[in-house]
A and B are shown apart, each in its own frame.
Chain A
Amino acid sequence: AQSVAQPEDQVNVAEGNPLTVKCTYSVSGNPYLFWYVQYPNRGLQFLLKYITGDNLVKGSYGFEAEFNKSQTSFHLKKPSALVSDSALYFCAVRAPGEAGGSYIPTFGRGTSLIVHP
């Protein structure tokens, strides 16, 4: 079975400071990892993914995430936070379908990011 943990319900950061939103996972085989962002009254928007290759993945809006296999983590980061980054962030994992795993991703509970002016 696959699972995702986002240990923080809420992260508060001042504008201009670096931000980190944490995610750890459990899955059989090599993971496919995703981050999504959700603004109020909207659907989720894809931010970035790790499938294979370089452990540091760059995505939309200046976000990046680092895949750490030994710590089974995929933390989302941004060097300088903006007030407009305030939103709900979801981490997701799934096993590669080619390995017999389900194509259905498992989502974390979400982390609310609040960036203060």
Chain B
Amino acid sequence: EADIYQTPRYLVIGTGKKITLECSQTMGHDKMYWYQQDPGMELHLIHYSYGVNSTEKGDLSSESTVSRIRTEHFPLTLESARPSHTSQYLCASSVTRTGFNEQFFGPGTRLTVL
């Protein structure tokens, strides 16, 4: 079934730890995105990718990094987590093809850094 997955759904971790948030999609979409969202608030784009080996920073400055080695996989890494990183992280994908254009979102990862 075509979908977009994020793991873990919830993560509680101590300050200074390195973490990787996973995002995978089975739709063959070329574009993928990471957003940061505090509960009930607006979305902030932190990273995006137009395809394999393409990554760009978004509007919101972030201490995270991303990679796009495979079309379906777009992990986000925090080298040293801090309490200010506590938030929800949403992954999305889209395809540029006539009749499409909308984004498909994963369920999100709720990160708490103690």
Q: Taking beta carbons and an 8 Å cutoff, which residues of A are in contact with B?
A: 32, 34, 36, 41-46, 49, 51, 88, 90, 94, 97, 103-105, 107-110, 112
Contacts and interface: CB of A to CB of B under 8 A. Distances in A.
A32 B107 contact: no
Interface residues of B, number: 25
Contacts of B41: 109-110
B45 interface: yes
A23 to B, nearest CB: 13
A8 to B, nearest CB: 14
Interface of B: 6, 31, 33, 40-43, 45, 48, 50, 58, 90, 92, 94, 96, 99, 101-108, 110
B45 A104 contact: yes
Contacts, number: 53
Nearest to B90: A43
Given A36-B105, A103-B31, A104-B58, 19 more contacts: A32-B101, A34-B103, A36-B103, A41-B108, A41-B110, A43-B90, A43-B92, A43-B107, A43-B108, A44-B103, A46-B102, A46-B103, A88-B40, A97-B96, A103-B94, A104-B33, A108-B42, A110-B40, A110-B42
A58 B78 CA distance: 41
A44 B48 contact: no
Contact of B105 (A43, A51, A88): A43
28 contacts: A32-B101, A34-B101, A34-B102, A36-B103, A43-B90, A43-B105, A43-B106, A43-B107, A44-B43, A44-B103, A44-B105, A45-B105, A49-B101, A51-B101, A88-B40, A94-B101, A103-B31, A103-B50, A103-B94, A103-B96, A104-B33, A104-B58, A105-B103, A107-B42, A108-B42, A109-B42, A110-B43, A112-B40
